[in-house]
């Protein structure tokens, strides 16, 4: 169990950045209906989770700051024996307090929230902060209600985003542990790779091994791609036959991530099916390029550097190699390179697999990144990426995953 002090500290740092005479409202969100009598798996709004540790629907967090005094209140669905009979038990107020660190006397029945919201909106001396980054419906509806009266609803994500970008020790360790779970699952799945195995079999093995290690809700949809299916970057519907069967001399592209304590890993691996043919094997040629790109990226990333600068370096290295293979002209442009280098090299990592943060901001100590150089060459019928997770440190960066991309681990039977 994560210490409630983590969430208490997050709320204190958040509240310290609020102006006086303020009420900040965060909503966990509501369950989304999938079919007549079934809902999708619920994930709470990530900013709400960051400040409470609660992954439950229908909750409201109210943080108030008046004359320098700060209070946090939670509104939660109370016990309802009939609803619980059909939809599962609800967390009692003592458990809510134990997870979030909000005193139990500040946990209220959700039925009291509407009256509180009404009083806040009536009080024109209070600045109301809502989450403009939320995908939930309630903050958008409330903002419209406030602004139709000529008032301004302030954006609290301008505070939470910088906080979330710089990871604390608990967050770093959670990402590192999620990466370990992911890599252990990949290692178990690797044993099944051989000519004739299907994407579907490998997919099931991956997800089983991650779930077995306490990751029931994954960071994103697991990707297993055989051969040319790797050209579909988010191939998340594994096939049982046809193109979904591993072939001698081809590849298997894996892209998956466990989620632990709410934090995501994001790891890609490629496996070569069958023995290689030395320098005549295009898979090995491309692997050496990807290794060069990875080493250059790990050497580049440090405080003060940027995503744009990282991409520029990758385009230069990949461009020279592609030109050497006769795939693009010697006087290549970035647009020439992008014909084969299809996606960005890196993104932020945290409570979301593509975590919050502006892409034009310089890296700073405490950022966590996923780094995934990839090159895709349809003319060669080959393309792949290798991805690892890292932490930006004071002087450079440090891998949170193993960084395993050596040929010894890639070539399988």
The residues near 3 (Cβ < 8 Å, ≥ 6 apart) are 170
The Cα-based distances of 190 to 124, 153, 194, 218, 392 in angstroms read 61, 51, 9, 19, 30
Percentage of the chain beyond pLDDT 90 is 86
pTM for this prediction: 0.95
What's the rounded mean pLDDT across residues 44-58?
96
**Interatomic CA distance for residues 236 and 343, integer angstroms:** 17
Using the Cα atoms of residue 162, residue 165, residue 167 and residue 173 in order, give the sign of their dihedral.
Answer: positive
For the chain, give the mean pLDDT.
Answer: 94
| pLDDT tens readout for residues 70-108 | 999 999 998 778 777 777 888 899 999 999 999 999 999
| pLDDT tens readout for residues 267-299 | 999 999 988 877 679 999 999 999 999 999 999
Rounded (5°) CA angle 65-73-62:
60
Q: What domains are defined for the chain?
A: 4-165 (3.40.350.10), 169-412 (3.90.230.10)
* Helices of type H across 2-130: 4-16, 46-52, 81-87, 93-100, 113-122
């Amino acid at each position: 169990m994560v210490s409630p002090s983590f969430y208490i500290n997050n709320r204190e740092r958040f509240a310290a950045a609020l102006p006086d005479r303020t009420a900040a409202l965060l909503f966990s969100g509501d369950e989304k209906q999938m079919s007549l009598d079934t809902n999708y798996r619920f994930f709470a709004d990530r900013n709400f989770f960051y400040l409470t540790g609660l992954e439950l629907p229908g909750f409201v967090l109210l943080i108030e700051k008046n004359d320098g005094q700060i209070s946090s209140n939670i509104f939660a669905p109370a016990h309802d024996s009939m609803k619980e009979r059909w939809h599962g038990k609800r967390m009692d107020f003592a458990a809510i307090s134990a997870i979030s660190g909000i005193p139990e006397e500040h946990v209220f029945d959700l039925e009291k929230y509407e009256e509180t919201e009404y009083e806040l909106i009536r009080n024109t001396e209070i600045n109301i902060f809502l989450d403009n980054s939320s995908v939930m419906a309630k903050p958008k509806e409330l903002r419209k209600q406030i602004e139709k009266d000529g008032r301004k609803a302030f954006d609290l994500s301008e505070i939470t985003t910088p906080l979330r970008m710089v990871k604390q020790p608990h967050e770093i360790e959670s990402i590192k542990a999620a990466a370990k779970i992911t890599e252990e699952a990949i290692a178990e799945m690797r044993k099944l790779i051989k000519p004739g195995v299907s994407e579907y079999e490998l997919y099931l093995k991956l997800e089983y091994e991650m779930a077995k290690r306490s990751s029931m809700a994954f960071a994103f949809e697991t990707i297993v791609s055989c051969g040319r299916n790797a050209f579909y970057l988010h191939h998340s519907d594994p096939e049982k036959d046809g193109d979904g069967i591993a072939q001698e001399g081809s590849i298997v592209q894996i892209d998956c991530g466990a989620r632990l304590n709410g934090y995501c890993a994001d790891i890609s691996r490629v496996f070569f099916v069958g023995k290689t043919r030395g320098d005549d094997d295009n898979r090995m040629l491309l692997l050496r390029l990807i290794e060069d790109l990875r080493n250059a990226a790990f050497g580049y990333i440090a405080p003060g550097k940027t995503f744009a600068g990282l991409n520029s370096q990758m385009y230069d290295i990949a461009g020279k190699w592609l030109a050497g293979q006769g795939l693009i002209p010697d006087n290549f442009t970035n647009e020439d390179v992008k014909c084969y280098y299809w996606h960005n090299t890196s993104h932020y990592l945290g409570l979301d697999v593509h975590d919050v943060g502006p892409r034009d901001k310089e890296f700073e100590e405490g950022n966590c990144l996923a780094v995934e150089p990839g090159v895709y060459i349809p003319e060669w019928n080959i393309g792949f990426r290798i991805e690892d997770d890292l932490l930006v440190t004071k002087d450079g960066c440090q891998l949170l995953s193993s960084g395993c991309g050596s040929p010894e681990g890639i070539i399988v039977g």
